[in-house]
Amino acid sequence: KAGVTQTPRYLIKTRGQQVTLSCSPISGHRSVSWYQQTPGQGLQFLFEYFSETQRNKGNFPGRFSGRQFSNSRSEMNVSTLELGDSALYLCASSRNRQGGRNTEAFFGQGTRLTVV
Amino acid sequence: SQQGEEDPQALSIQEGENATMNCSYKTSINNLQWYRQNSGRGLVHLILIRSNEREKHSGRLRVTLDTSKKSSSLLITASRAADTASYFCATDAKGSSNTGKLIFGQGTTLQVKP
């Protein structure tokens, strides 16, 4: 079974630009979550999608957005990039079902975003 | 805000020794998971323990959970150089069940010297 795939692996962008990151979950997983990892703040939850609906959102500005497609693939977008957005962005998928208990979350290798 | 706190922040041991990492959290949880991360790469899932479980084993890993103290420990026995990595605990708080939100600790950096 293929794991969680994130593309691209590395990205360099200029301040003010926007960026789109992609995540393909494990086949059969309908829940996709996104996290930002920085040396200062650690791993922080961005948002979670299930069946194309955002179910939960972390404490990030509106410049951070996401969506999920009918095949469960997800994208996250960051607009008007700031230097502080430089981070490792991780995507996780799980079998979490509506009304069910949380299960193991499996992570991709991440996208390393550098804003210059 | 980060819910989990891990202790120690860094640990250095010799190959063959055991490594113990601790995690504390603040609110009631549904389950707690441990992850490993090598050099800023993706997180590898190690083990999940539910709030009604007290101990769980997986190979050389042993996890305990004390919900009365809101703490968990991860024991790696007979460590190997390949165990060198950062280890994170992650919880999902009650009330946010099934919303896929994990709250991570700051992690413990483990170095296993050959």
User: Under a CB-based contact definition with an 8 Å cutoff, are residues B21 and B37 in contact?
Assistant: no
Facing A55 at nearest CB: one of B35, B42, B100: B100
- Can you give the pLDDT at residue B69? 95
User: Under a CB-based contact definition with an 8 Å cutoff, are residues B84 and B97 in contact?
Assistant: no
For residue B78, the distance in angstroms to the closest alpha carbon of chain A comes to 25
- Can you give the pLDDT at residue B28? 87
Q: How many contacts does A have with B, using Cβ atoms within 8 A?
A: 81
**Over pLDDT 70: what percentage of chain B?**
92
What are the C-alpha distances in Å from B106 to residues A36, A83, A112, B3?
13, 22, 19, 9
Among A37-41, A97-101, B56-60, which is the least confidently predicted range? A97-101
